[in-house]
Amino acid sequence: MAVCALTSARARDGALYSNRWGPSQLASPPSEVFQTAAKDSIPKDLATAKGTDYMRACAILAIASIQNGQIRAMRQYAGMYHTLLDMDGLYDEKLWPKNLNVIEVEERRRMFWSMYTLDIYSSIVWGGIVRYREAHSMVRYPSEVDDEFIASTGYGVPSSNIGDQSVSVVSRGPVSWLRGWNYTTDLYRILEYAVDAQGRRNAMKNGMTPSWPLYEQTTMSEPSVMEKVQSTYAALPPQLKETLPVTGDSQRDLFGFQSANIQATLQLLRMVLFSTEERSVDKRCDVAGELIGVFSKIPVEYLKAISTPLLHHLGGIGYILGSVMEGSLSETSYQRVRMLLLEMADLLQRLESGMHRAAGASERLKTQVGRIDEYMRTLRPSNTVFRAPRNHDDVLISGLDGGGPSSSAYMDERAGPDPVPSEFGELSPFQLPPELLVDWPWPFDYGQTDGIFPLGFEL
């Protein structure tokens, strides 16, 4: 029932690329019906919920809750999962039953590390504690063997390193998609330390006496960490670095999805590292532009498969751009941020066709840009023209027409910007009024969050 709840929610949000099914065929019953059935099957007394099936149900319900925008429910089910994990000793393979077969061992490993990544992810986006640390996780990575080669009695592919936590790679035979899955987990283990760095920074602001100087701490600068991460990324097999178009062949597309997921996680890591340091306006725009560029190159089918969690990645980009908009702006810096906001709106528009929780976000973003353009018009003398940079088909604000964004003409995409008359020069540094910064599409509407990105994406 939990799997059906998640599948139904993802299908409703457009995560379908096969002609075998259509959204209308999967619309009834809705996700919420399956979710209720799964919830009702879990004992209220968790001490009686023995076995991994209850853990798996809670884990999947936590993910389904994110998909449906139910963050309090996500915390509830994740908490239930971690309680069961603690009681069952899932965090240490030495505590597992001795009679587990190979399939059961691999399932436990996949579940443990999958929920580890969700734990780190939820701490980044919504705040809260990291429940299980890398150092406390005595569980090996899943073996990098495709499911068809795993039987209850053993592995069907010869390997010298099956089950080895440090080198879980098949020595002969094709590359498994799990290579990419495990690499994504590697990135989340690095993210754990990035979250710690942010937490130490916040603790200092709260007046706490720091204890960590007792231990040697290294500085996690974004350039140094990303340089090392890029070297590990370069060592991946080519099929995990190429996000090719969807083919309909599940084996090939699974690699494409892993590649897309790796790219999304790399960008999340970069945003988290970036948020721990003070940056100039130009640097923030550089990073935001690069992040948008990466997501824009990924086939939209994979973006929809990542689904709602991707919106929170985009919310991180929105936070970076929002931090620029809230500060002192020059005309040049505003025009650059404006261009990035419109590129982000284009990206959101690609997702909106199926992802109903993102519906209207791109238009809201464009409307906000139009409102700010109107404000910019009021800053200029009446006989000047303010136009966007080249290649953006958007609002033209003229001091001669007296109209707002709804009555403005649209630029031809091939036309360049009108020059600012030299007798006026560039506007002096200015700050946007607060009322222009309160209706962006990425603030959360279900309460304050103490995540790294305090302005996530509204669901």
What span, in angstroms and rounded, lies between the C-alpha atoms of 65 and 28? 18
**Position 434 confidence tier, pLDDT thresholds 50, 70, 90:** confident
What span, in angstroms and rounded, lies between the C-alpha atoms of 373 and 386? 8
Q: Which of 307, 312, 310 is nearest to 13 (CA)?
A: 307
Cβ–Cβ < 8 Å for 65, 73: yes
**Position 39 confidence tier, pLDDT thresholds 50, 70, 90:** very high
pLDDT at 382: 54
What span, in angstroms and rounded, lies between the C-alpha atoms of 356 and 12? 8
Asked whether the predicted pLDDT for residue 194 surpasses 80, the reply is yes
pLDDT at 235: 95
For the chain, give the mean pLDDT.
78
CA distances from 138 to 69, 89, 96, 164, 188 (A): 32, 10, 11, 12, 16
pLDDT at 334: 86
Q: Which of 395, 390, 323 is nearest to 366 (CA)?
A: 395
pLDDT at 208: 67
Q: Give the residue-averaged pLDDT of 294-314.
A: 83
State pLDDT tens for residues 227-248. Answer: 999 999 999 999 999 888 888 8
State pLDDT tens for residues 123-160. Answer: 888 888 898 889 889 999 999 999 999 998 888 864 54
pLDDT at 414: 31
Q: Give the residue-averaged pLDDT of 29-48.
A: 95
Looking at mean pLDDT, say which of 206-220, 312-326, 366-380 comes out highest: 366-380
Asked whether the predicted pLDDT for residue 373 surpasses 80, the reply is yes
pLDDT at 430: 81
What span, in angstroms and rounded, lies between the C-alpha atoms of 15 and 311? 14
- Which range, of 72-86, 134-148, 190-204, 409-423, averages the lowest pLDDT? 409-423
Asked whether the predicted pLDDT for residue 389 surpasses 50, the reply is no
Asked whether the predicted pLDDT for residue 424 surpasses 90, the reply is no
Whole-model pTM: value is: 0.80
**Position 205 confidence tier, pLDDT thresholds 50, 70, 90:** low
Q: Give the residue-averaged pLDDT of 9-32.
A: 83
Token pair listed for 283: 């640097």
Q: Give the residue-averaged pLDDT of 165-181.
A: 65
- Which range, of 16-30, 169-183, 187-201, 286-300, averages the lowest pLDDT? 169-183
Cβ–Cβ < 8 Å for 317, 288: yes
What span, in angstroms and rounded, lies between the C-alpha atoms of 368 and 350? 19
How many percent of the chain have pLDDT more than 70?
A: 75
- Bigger pLDDT: 346 or 108? 108
Token pair listed for 354: 């199926």
pLDDT at 450: 53
Question: Which residue do the tokens 């109107």 mark?
Answer: 374
Bridge partners of 386, per DSSP, are 397
Pairing of strands 150-151, 397-398: unpaired
Q: Which of 98, 191, 102 is nearest to 145 (CA)?
A: 102
DSSP per residue over 331-395, as a string?
HHHHHHHHHHHHHHHHHHHHHHTT-GGGTTHHHHHHHHHHHHHHHHHHHS-TT-EE-PPTT---B
Q: Give the residue-averaged pLDDT of 316-341.
A: 84
pLDDT at 249: 83
State pLDDT tens for residues 217-226. Answer: 666 677 888 9
Cβ–Cβ < 8 Å for 101, 108: no
SS3 (DSSP) at 220: coil
Asked whether the predicted pLDDT for residue 441 surpasses 80, the reply is no
